[in-house]
Chains A and B, each alone.
Chain A
Amino acid sequence: MSFDGSGFWRAAEPKPAYEVVVVGGGGHGLSTAYYLARNYGITDVAVLEKGWLGGGNMARNTTIIRSNYLWDESAAIYEHSLKLWEDLERELEFDIQFSQRGVLNLAHDLGDVRSSLRRVNANRLNAVDGEWLSPAEVANFCPIINISPDVRYPVLGATLQRRGGVARHDKVAWAYARAADRLGVDIVEHCEVRGFDVRQGHMTSVETSRGSIRATKVALAAAGHTSVLASMLGLRLPLQSHPLQALVSVLLEPVLNCIVMSNAVHVYVSQADKGELVMGAGIDAYNSYAQRGSFHVIEHQLAAAIQLFPIFRNAKLLRTWGGIVDVSPDASPILGTTPIDGLFLNCGWGTGGFKATPGSGHVYAETIANSKPGPLAQPFALERFETGALIDEHGAAAVAH
C-alpha cells in the first residue's frame, strides 16, 4: 500500500449540490465528514480543500495528544477526544502510530507547582488521569531531564498524564479521508471557497474555484483562515491568526521516551519514531497568514530546551516551519451554530487543535446533523463572548497546548 494518498480516496469532482459542504480538508474537516457519515448516515457530503489534503496545520503540528485541561468543559471535550483516539486505529483500520508514552508538564516555580497540583486534582475529579511527580520522580520517568537546582528555571516537579501521547499526524488525515471516502464522502482538493450565497438568512450555496455548489448546510473547518471566510459573510469573530513555529533536529538515537512540556521556559518536545526531536514553542506575537515566524522565537525555545536537556546541546537543527493558528480570547475553541441559518463554525482551537481531531469532528458532526450543539459542544458556542461565560484556559491548561 502506498502512502502517497492515491490509494486512499477518490479525487472527486465536485457535484452541483450536497447536503453538507465542509470547508477545509484538514484533520477536523475530515473527521467531521467521517462522523457525519458514520454516526448520522449523512453521506451526501463534500470536503472542500483549497490546497492538498492535510497540508495545513495537520502537517505542521507537533502531534501531542492529551486531555489534562483545567476546566470541566475543556476536560470533557478533550477527554472525549482522547477516548476516541484510544480506539481509532481499530475503528479506521489504519496504523496511525498512536503512542501513549505519557506527557509531562514541568513546574518551575511555586506558582507553577500550585497551579499544576490544582490541575491534577481537577483532572481527577473529571476522571482524567493525572499524577504529580517530585523532581526525583521526574528524573526517574525521564532520565535525561536536568533536575539540578542550580539552573535558571529549576524543575520543581511535574504533572504526568500517562495516557497522553503522540500520533503520526498525516496518517490521521489519510485514515479519516479513506474512511470517509469509503462511506461515500467526496473529498475535493484544489477547490478554494471564494464566496457564499445567503438568502434571507439561510445558506444556499458556496462559490468555489471549481464552480458553484449548492448546500443548505456549510460547516467551516478552516483553522487560521476562518476569519477570511467569515469576512465574506460579514460575520465578525473573536479570532486572531498567528504563526506557530515548530522544528526538528537531525535524526538521533532514541533518547526521549515521553513528551515534555514546559510553560515557564516555553518549549515542548518529543522524539519522533524516526529519531528527530520535535519541538514547538509559543505563537509569534503578531497577526500573520505567512506560515512563517521570527527566528528569535526559535532561538528562545532552543535555549530553553538545552537547559532542560543538556544532552541536546550538540544536536543540529534540521528544519523549522510555521502554521497559522486561530487564537480566541479565552484560548478555547468556538464550535456551534451562527446567526446565519445553515452556517456552522468550528474554529479557535489555536495552538492545540491536533489532539482534538477526533473529538472535534465527532461533536461538530452532531451539531451539524441536529442543527444544534450537543452537551459537549454547547459551552463552546460563539454566544459565550456575549454572555461572558468564557472558558479561560490561558495558562490554566499547561503550556501553549
Chain B
Amino acid sequence: MLLIPCPWCGPRDEIEFSYGGEAHIAYPAEPDELSDAQWADFLFMRHNPKGDFSERWYHSSGCRRWFNVIRSTVTHEIRAVYRIGEPPPEAGS
C-alpha cells in the first residue's frame, strides 16, 4: 500500500485517497475553436509513462482536498507532492 503525504494532513494510507489520473490537463481556453481531433486529445489521450508521472490525488477520507503527486510508475516511489496551483517541482527534489 502507498503511504501518501497529503500536503495538508501529512502521510496517510492510500485507502484514504482517491486517484485522479494525470495532472495538469487544462480545460481548453477556446473550446468552440477545437477540432474533433483536438477534443479527442483533451478528453481521452493521456501520457502513460514508464517512469515519473504527474498525477492528482484526492484526500477523500481526510481533508477532501485535491493535490498533485510526482510518482514513479516503476517503483511507486513518491518523488514530490505539491498543492493545486503550485508549479510542479523538479522531479526528485
Contact surface of A with B, Cβ cutoff 8 Å: 225, 227-228, 231, 236-241, 285-290, 294-296, 329, 385-387
Contacts and interface: CB of A to CB of B under 8 A. Distances in A.
Contact of A286 (B13, B43, B44, B55): B55
B15 A387 contact: no
A237 B40 CA distance: 10
Given A288-B73, A294-B2, A236 B41 contact: yes
B50 to A, nearest CB: 5
12 contacts: A236-B46, A238-B40, A239-B48, A241-B50, A286-B76, A288-B76, A289-B73, A290-B75, A329-B43, A329-B44, A385-B45, A386-B36
Contacts of B1: 294-296
Contact of B49 (A231, A236, A296): A231
Given A386-B37, A386-B40, A286 B48 contact: no
Contacts of B66: none
B55 A296 contact: no
A219 to B, nearest CB: 20
Contacts of A329: 43-44
Contacts of A238: 40, 44-46
Interface string B26-64: 000000000011011101111011100101000000000
A241 B73 contact: yes
Nearest to A326: B48
A375 to B, nearest CB: 23
A241 B39 CA distance: 22
Nearest to B53: A287
A231 B47 CA distance: 9
A286 B19 contact: yes
B44 A385 contact: yes
Given A228-B50, A294-B1, A296-B14, A287 B45 contact: no
- 7 nearest CB pairs, A to B: A227-B48, A285-B19, A238-B44, A236-B45, A386-B40, A294-B1, A385-B44
A386 B41 CA distance: 8
Contacts of B76: 286, 288, 290
Contact of A240 (B18, B21, B40): B21
Given A238-B44, A287-B73, A289-B50, 16 more contacts: A228-B49, A231-B49, A239-B48, A241-B50, A286-B71, A287-B48, A288-B73, A289-B73, A294-B1, A295-B1, A296-B15, A385-B40, A385-B44, A385-B45, A386-B36, A387-B36
A285 to B, nearest CB: 4
Contacts of B55: 286-287
A237 B2 contact: no
Q: Indicate the size class of the contact surface on chain B.
A: 20 to 34
Residue of B15, B44, B55, B75 with highest tally of chain A CB at under 10 A: B44
Nearest to B51: A289
A348 to B, nearest CB: 11
B25 interface: no
A225 B2 contact: no
Given A286-B55, A385-B40, A237 B48 contact: yes
B73 to A, nearest CB: 5
A240 B44 contact: no
A324 to B, nearest CB: 9
Contact of B73 (A285, A290, A385, A387): A290
Contacts of A289: 50, 73-74
Contacts of A385: 40, 43-45
B46 A240 contact: yes
A235 to B, nearest CB: 10
A77 B75 CA distance: 36
B55 to A, nearest CB: 7
A234 to B, nearest CB: 12
A47 B38 CA distance: 35
Contacts of A294: 1-2, 14
B75 A240 contact: no
A290 B74 contact: yes
A294 B13 CA distance: 11
A240 B71 CA distance: 15
Contacts of B53: 287
A287 B14 CA distance: 14
Contacts of B46: 236, 238-240
Contacts of B48: 227-228, 231, 237, 239-241, 287
B4 to A, nearest CB: 10
Nearest to A236: B45
B36 A225 contact: no
